[in-house]
């Protein structure tokens, strides 16, 4: 992983509630490089989900910048190399950032196949037949091709989350954001979802993963961020974080979860 | 009063079958136009109530770009004129009798302010009475449908909106493809109820001389000195209009909940 290919650059990001009384994010800066798997860990309420959800502006930050391909997506407009001013269209940037939610958020009134082809057909104007073919290829990859015409309610949690992942992949994103993807799953279904994510990481996808699965962080993560009280307290390779944690808060956290 | 309902009375009533048929047709046309106007108005009002237009937003921020501490300025900055207009409309229409509204529309708006072209639809729907009736009923049911639609949209889990937006869909695409289909499914029972209410409430337009079913009933009563028989016929007709309507919507409700069952 090179250091100059910053895909996402977060600069001094803050998110305050109640006029600054509560700081969900407190002056956070971090770079995400292309091809990197960044795992964010930390206790509940530490701001890790807020950070992830800010990356595609699901949350509006109070202060700071987020650069995606060197464009500050928190601002209303940007100036290109030629000095021309453009409006920032967040929908365009979101197309390139896939997101997977804790509660799957599949569209219950549409079949699995319809769930997958909706955005490519409506947003990217992909021909329906082509989108269907593409969806079937992805469904085969996650072993759910036979459920294409089922409705989400007919699937198990693990299956729903695998569908949610491939639905995001249909848009061919440059980065995938995972917001506690296995937290709402029965323990026996966690493995199948992590397996898909591992495969994705090995295929070179840039990923930001908020999770409580320390095993996943250790095995798949290129870099681990530890957050608490809206700040990144420590970051490093999984070996550094889990092998020789320096911050007392991290040592305390790891002693409780490992 | 031993023969207050007689076969003879029904026989007399059915001599006016042509008038009753016209009345039924008028009632159906009133209901159809009212539903269309009410539904469009309802969606429009619901969207207006949920907009986030705050032209005075700048008042909340000081020169340094930080939020001020002045509670009065902050309250003013949250003022949304579009939502305010829609809310005021809904509350006024819901808090006054539909009879008053119809008379105001008929005598006030179309009697003095707007000149209606006088023509006859389908041979007997007189435009200068039918149009005010439809407009008044449509405006009234629009207020109720707005609240039904709004509650339906707000009942949809926020994750649905987030999932659609995270895929790059616009606000409008999300509303049309994700939110509204689910919202309408959830509110179909309430909409069915409103449609049935519209069919029944359309009878009130006979007060401004629309020749609907109730108008026919009064005409038959007056011409023959019979009371109950025309009313019973009207009862049967209204039931035959309303009952299938709610059944048809219940059928769509079952069809649309395909994704709900295993």
pLDDT at A4 over 60: no
Which residue of B163, B169, B258 is in closest CB contact with A101? B163
pLDDT at B199 over 70: yes
pLDDT at A33 over 80: yes
The shares of helix, strand and coil residues in chain A, as percent rounded to the nearest 5, are 40, 25, 35
Packing angle, helices A128-141 and A157-169, rounded to 10: 130
* Chain B residues with beta carbon closer than 8 angstroms to that of A98: 166-167
Cβ distance A168 to A187 under 8 Å? no
Beta bridge partner(s), residue A213: none
- What secondary structure letter does DSSP report for A24? E
Pick from B145, B162, B118: nearest CA to B49: B145
Minimal C-alpha gap between B261 and chain A (Å): 7
Complex ipTM: 0.91
**Residue in chain A lying closest to B262 (CA):** A154
- What secondary structure letter does DSSP report for A152? G
**Residue in chain B lying closest to A168 (CA):** B167
Point out the least confidently predicted range of A10-24, A110-124, A139-153, A171-185.
A10-24
* Chain A residues with beta carbon closer than 8 angstroms to that of B68: none
Pick from B211, B247, B259: nearest CA to B24: B211
pLDDT at A54 over 70: yes
> Which residues have a Cβ under 8 Å from the Cβ of A237 and sit 6 or more positions away?
A221, A222, A223, A224
> Which residues have a Cβ under 8 Å from the Cβ of A64 and sit 6 or more positions away?
A10, A11, A12, A13, A14, A27, A28, A74
CB atoms within 10 A of CB A211: 22
Cβ distance A48 to A228 under 8 Å? no
pLDDT at A208 over 70: yes
Candidates A108, A161, A183, partner chain B, best to mutate (most B CBs within 10 A)? A108
Does B168 contact A103 at a Cβ distance shorter than 8 Å?
Answer: no
Measure the CA–CA gap between A174 and A8, rounded to whole angstroms: 10
Which residue of A99, A108, A118 is in closest CB contact with B166? A99
β pairing state of A6-17 and A63-68: antiparallel
β pairing state of A206-210 and A37-41: parallel
Measure the CA–CA gap between A21 and A28, rounded to whole angstroms: 17
**Residue in chain B lying closest to A164 (CA):** B163
pLDDT at B246 over 50: yes
**What confidence category does residue A3 fall into, taking pLDDT thresholds of 50, 70 and 90?**
very low
Cβ distance B30 to B219 under 8 Å? no
Does B167 contact A105 at a Cβ distance shorter than 8 Å?
Answer: no
Per residue in A167-183, is it b (16+ CB within 10 Å) or e — as a string?
Answer: bbbbbebbbbbbbbbbe
**Residue in chain B lying closest to A110 (CA):** B259
Measure the CA–CA gap between A213 and B111, rounded to whole angstroms: 73
**Residue in chain A lying closest to B164 (CA):** A119
Candidates B69, B152, B157, B168, partner chain A, best to mutate (most A CBs within 10 A)? B168
Minimal C-alpha gap between B176 and chain A (Å): 11
**Overall average pLDDT of the A159-171 stretch:** 96
Minimal C-alpha gap between A18 and chain B (Å): 11
* Chain A residues with beta carbon closer than 8 angstroms to that of B163: 99, 101, 105-107, 164
Q: pTM to 2 decimals?
A: 0.80
Does B162 contact A105 at a Cβ distance shorter than 8 Å?
Answer: yes
pLDDT tens per residue, range B111-164? 778 877 777 777 677 788 888 999 999 999 999 999 999 999 999 999 999 999
Cβ distance B23 to B211 under 8 Å? yes
DSSP-assigned states of every residue in B47-100: HHHT----TTGGGGB-TTSSBPS-HHHHHHHT--HHHHHHHHHHHHHHTS-HHH
**What confidence category does residue A225 fall into, taking pLDDT thresholds of 50, 70 and 90?**
very high
Which residue of A98, A119, A164 is in closest CB contact with B169? A119
Q: What's the pLDDT score for residue B111?
A: 79
pLDDT tens per residue, range B25-64? 989 989 999 999 999 999 999 989 988 888 888 887 777 6
Which tokens in the block code for residue B254? 């079952």
For A91, phi then psi, to 5°, come to -60, -35
Which residue of B163, B168, B261 is in closest CB contact with A123? B168
Q: What's the pLDDT score for residue B65?
A: 64
pLDDT tens per residue, range A185-201? 999 999 999 999 999 99
Quote the mean pLDDT of chain A.
92
Q: What's the pLDDT score for residue B261?
A: 56
Pick from A169, A178, A173, A171: nearest CA to A68: A173
- A/B interface, count of CB pairs below 8 Å: 76
Q: Which residues of B touch A (CB under 8 A)?
A: 67, 69, 157, 159-160, 162-170, 173, 177-178, 181-182, 185, 256, 258-262
> Which residues have a Cβ under 8 Å from the Cβ of B9 and sit 6 or more positions away?
B224, B226, B228, B229
* Chain A residues with beta carbon closer than 8 angstroms to that of B258: 151
Q: What's the pLDDT score for residue B258?
A: 66
Cβ distance B169 to A56 under 8 Å? no
* Chain A residues with beta carbon closer than 8 angstroms to that of B177: 118, 122
**Overall average pLDDT of the B79-85 stretch:** 92
Q: What's the pLDDT score for residue A2?
A: 40
Cβ distance A161 to A100 under 8 Å? yes
Q: What's the pLDDT score for residue B119?
A: 77
pLDDT at A143 over 50: yes
**What confidence category does residue B97 fall into, taking pLDDT thresholds of 50, 70 and 90?**
very high
Does A97 contact B166 at a Cβ distance shorter than 8 Å?
Answer: yes
Quote the mean pLDDT of chain B.
87
**Residue in chain A lying closest to B181 (CA):** A109
Q: What's the pLDDT score for residue B185?
A: 86
pLDDT at B1 over 70: no
Measure the CA–CA gap between B213 and B211, rounded to whole angstroms: 7
Q: Is A83 exposed, middle or buried (0-12, 13-18, 19+ CB in 10 A)?
A: exposed
Minimal C-alpha gap between A238 and chain B (Å): 29
Residue showing tokens 């969806």: A135
pLDDT at A157 over 80: yes
Contacts of B173-176 with C-beta under 8 Å, sequence gap 24+, read: B173/A122, B173/A123
**What confidence category does residue B102 fall into, taking pLDDT thresholds of 50, 70 and 90?**
very high
* Chain A residues with beta carbon closer than 8 angstroms to that of B181: 109
Does A58 contact B165 at a Cβ distance shorter than 8 Å?
Answer: yes
Tally the residues of chain B.
262
Does A153 contact B262 at a Cβ distance shorter than 8 Å?
Answer: yes
Does B160 contact A105 at a Cβ distance shorter than 8 Å?
Answer: yes
**What confidence category does residue B86 fall into, taking pLDDT thresholds of 50, 70 and 90?**
very high
Q: What's the pLDDT score for residue B259?
A: 62
Which residue of B67, B170, B178 is in closest CB contact with A107? B178
Residue showing tokens 């569908």: A163
pLDDT tens per residue, range A86-138? 888 999 999 999 999 999 999 999 999 999 999 999 999 999 999 999 999 99
pLDDT tens per residue, range A14-29? 998 877 788 899 999 9
């Amino acid at each position: 992983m090179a250091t100059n290919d910053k895909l996402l650059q977060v600069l001094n990001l803050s998110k305050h509630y109640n006029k600054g009384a509560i700081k969900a994010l407190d002056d956070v800066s971090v770079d995400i490089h292309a091809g990197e798997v960044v795992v964010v860990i930390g206790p509940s309420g530490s701001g890790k989900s807020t950070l992830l959800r800010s990356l595609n502006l699901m949350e509006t930050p109070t202060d700071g910048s987020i650069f995606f391909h060197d464009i500050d997506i928190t601002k209303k407009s940007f100036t290109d190399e030629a000095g021309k001013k453009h409006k920032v269209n967040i929908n365009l940037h979101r197309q390139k950032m896939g997101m997977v939610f804790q509660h799957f958020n599949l569209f219950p009134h549409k079949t699995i196949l319809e769930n997958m082809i909706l955005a490519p057909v409506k947003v990217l104007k992909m021909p329906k037949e082509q989108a269907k073919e593409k969806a079937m290829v992805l469904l085969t990859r996650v072993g759910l091709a036979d459920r294409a015409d089922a409705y989400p309610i007919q699937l198990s949690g693990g299956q729903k989350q695998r569908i949610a992942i491939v639905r995001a992949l249909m848009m061919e994103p440059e980065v995938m954001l995972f917001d506690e993807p296995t937290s709402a799953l029965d323990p026996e279904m966690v493995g199948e979802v992590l397996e898909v994510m591992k495969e994705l990481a090995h295929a070179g996808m840039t990923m930001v993963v908020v999770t409580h699965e320390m095993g996943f962080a250790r095995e798949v993560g290129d870099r681990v961020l530890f957050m608490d009280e809206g700040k990144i307290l420590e970051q490093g390779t999984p070996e550094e974080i889990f092998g020789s944690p320096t911050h007392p808060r991290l040592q305390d956290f790891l002693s409780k979860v490992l | 009063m031993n023969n207050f309902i007689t076969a003879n009375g029904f026989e007399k009533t059915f001599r006016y079958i042509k008038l009753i048929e016209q009345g039924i047709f008028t009632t159906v046309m009133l209901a159809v136009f009212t539903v269309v106007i009410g539904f469009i108005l309802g969606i429009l009002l619901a969207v207006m109530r949920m907009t986030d237009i705050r032209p005075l937003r700048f008042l909340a921020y000081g020169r340094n770009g930080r939020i001020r501490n002045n509670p009065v300025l902050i309250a003013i900055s949250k003022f949304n004129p579009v939502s305010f207009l829609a809310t005021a409309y809904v509350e006024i229409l819901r808090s006054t009798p539909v009879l008053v509204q119809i008379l105001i529309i008929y005598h006030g708006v179309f009697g003095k302010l707007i000149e209606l072209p006088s023509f006859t639809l389908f041979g007997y729907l007189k435009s200068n009475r039918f149009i005010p009736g439809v407009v008044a009923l449509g405006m009234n049911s629009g207020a109720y449908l707005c609240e039904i639609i709004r509650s339906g949209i707000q009942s949809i889990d926020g994750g649905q909106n987030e999932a659609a937006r995270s895929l790059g869909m616009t606000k409008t695409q999300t509303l049309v493809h994700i939110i509204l289909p689910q919202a309408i499914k959830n509110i179909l029972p309430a909409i069915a109820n409103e449609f049935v209410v519209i069919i029944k409430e359309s009878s009130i337009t006979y007060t401004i001389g629309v020749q609907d079913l109730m108008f026919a009933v009064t005409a038959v009563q007056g011409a023959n000195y019979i009371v109950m028989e025309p009313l019973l016929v009207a009862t049967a007709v209204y039931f035959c209009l309303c009952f299938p309507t709610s059944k048809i919507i219940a059928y769509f409700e079952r069809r649309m909940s395909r994704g709900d069952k295993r």
